[in-house]
Amino acid sequence: MSTTAYTMTIDGKAVTSAASINAIDPATEQVIATVPDASREQLDQAVASARHALSAWAATPLNERRAVLGRIAGILAANAPTLGALLSLEQGKPLAKAQEEVFISAHWCAEVAKLPLEPDTVTDTPESLVQVHRVPVGVVGAIVPWNFPVALAFFKIAPALLAGNTMVLKPSPMTPLTALKFGELLREALPPGVFNVVSGGDALGPWMTAHPGIDKISFTGSTATGRKVMESGAATLKRLTLELGGNDAAIVLPDVDVDAVAATIFWGAFANSAQFCLAIKRLYIHDAVYDKLAQALAKLANSVKLGAGTEPGVELGPVQNKAQFERLKGLLADCKAQGYKILAGGEVADKPGYFFPVTLIDNPPETSRIVQEEPFGPILPLLRFTDIDDAVARANASPYGLGGSVWTADEAKGLAIGRRLQAGTVWVNEIHTIAPNKPMAGHKQSGLGVEQGEDGLLEYTLPQTVSLKRTAGAGA
């Protein structure tokens, strides 16, 4: 394909560039398209466009902005087959899951549009009126990763636009195609400049985070990159929302019904080929049920169908990119070098595509790389424990604090243990039930700020307190 098939959206218009980058199919390692590689000048144009559109969009009545989000939801739903097929091709996930991601994004827009954003009246007396209004931050720079490139984009787009901000969106250079296409689809739904999409390589992100015309950065990605975003934005005191890495722990108690929970736990770890910030990455299993659950998980691992996302019946696709694939192979090689027992998987086929088998590591040491690092791929350590206090302490002994889960027949005990986990999102007997009205925040080095829910919406606003001293007889 040529760059004419994929164009950026700047000021509501299709824009190409002199330079381009390749999009790679992770199932074949072949180039499937070339896309624009934005220049610094084109980023300046996108930011200027967003700045120019800001005052009119911010002044648009809230109910009209709600209606626009509803129209965006309709556009996404109507184009889900096309967008889903493109997403499956460039990201690698199964086609059904790719289309589901598009529908989730449409649902998100529709539901975020219902969140409250009206002024809060603090005081209303004959003498005084005090109200807190929520005003837009300004121009938002949104930087989106490659694991859920559509959903994670709209997790930012919907609240930012509802709050009256304008946006410049940068998709990952690993998965630019779907974002460029939905940017094209939304040109008719929004005033020019309100929503811009620019694609590019490694230089584009730092240009955005340092750009003086961008007021807020909303970033999802690794903790290491999040630190750089924070440093880069410091010069202009940018507002930041950072959704960063995690090393989520799950704790399985001895009273659990293994047969009932094994599949849910398995997919809690391996959905999207474990390329999921909230995936189970450390599985602490009580000794009383360790062997039974390990066997059940190994059976599932050995039966799951791995292949190109576009193939019928595939349950897990390839790892999305070569760098991540090589990192996973390095972690696996370390496990083998240390002599850890492998319960399932462990052999990477020598064939095209970034296919990594679901791999289970049997009770490695707490100090091992596979326990301490975030794999972000389908390799999982299973860890024995006998004392719940020890399990909680081990789960919390991490610089990360994104999510966690507890699995038990005793709901009260599960809730009590869950409250002890140092994580922003905790599930008991379920996992990954995120929703537009449920706030999500990373503790420790897993993030800064809040996404989702009313709290997440307010991240795209600034409080403006307006106080009025009433004059006697005024308004009579």
Contact 170, 204 (CB under 8 A): yes
Q: Which residues of 330-344 are buried (b: 16+ CB within 10 A; e: fewer)?
A: ebbeebeeeebebbb
Token pair 């420790």 in the structure block, residue: 444
Please tell me the chain's helix, strand, coil percentages from 3-state DSSP, rounded to the nearest 5: 40, 25, 35
Q: Give the active site residue among 90, 243, 374, 459.
A: 243
Host H or E run for residue 40 = helix 40-59
Other beta carbons within 10 Å of 160: 28
- Lateral strand order in the sheet of 120-124: 120-124, 128-136, 461-469
CA distances (Å), 305 to each of 281, 324, 455, in order?
A: 21, 21, 39
CA distances (Å), 220 to each of 37, 83, 85, 86, 294, in order?
A: 21, 21, 23, 21, 32
Residues 81 and 107: their CA atoms lie apart, in Å, by: 15
CA distances (Å), 42 to each of 8, 19, 39, 214, 417, in order?
A: 10, 12, 5, 14, 51
Residues 146 and 178: their CA atoms lie apart, in Å, by: 11
Residues 92 and 38: their CA atoms lie apart, in Å, by: 25
Read off the amino acid at residue 456. G
Q: Give the active site residue among 277, 315, 374, 459.
A: 277
Return the sign of the alpha-carbon dihedral for residues 89, 91, 93, 97. Answer: negative
**Cβ-count burial of 395 within 10 angstroms (0-12 exposed, 13-18 middle, 19+ buried)?**
buried
Helices (H), 282-383: 287-303, 322-337, 369-372
243 is catalytic: yes
Catalytic residues: 243, 277
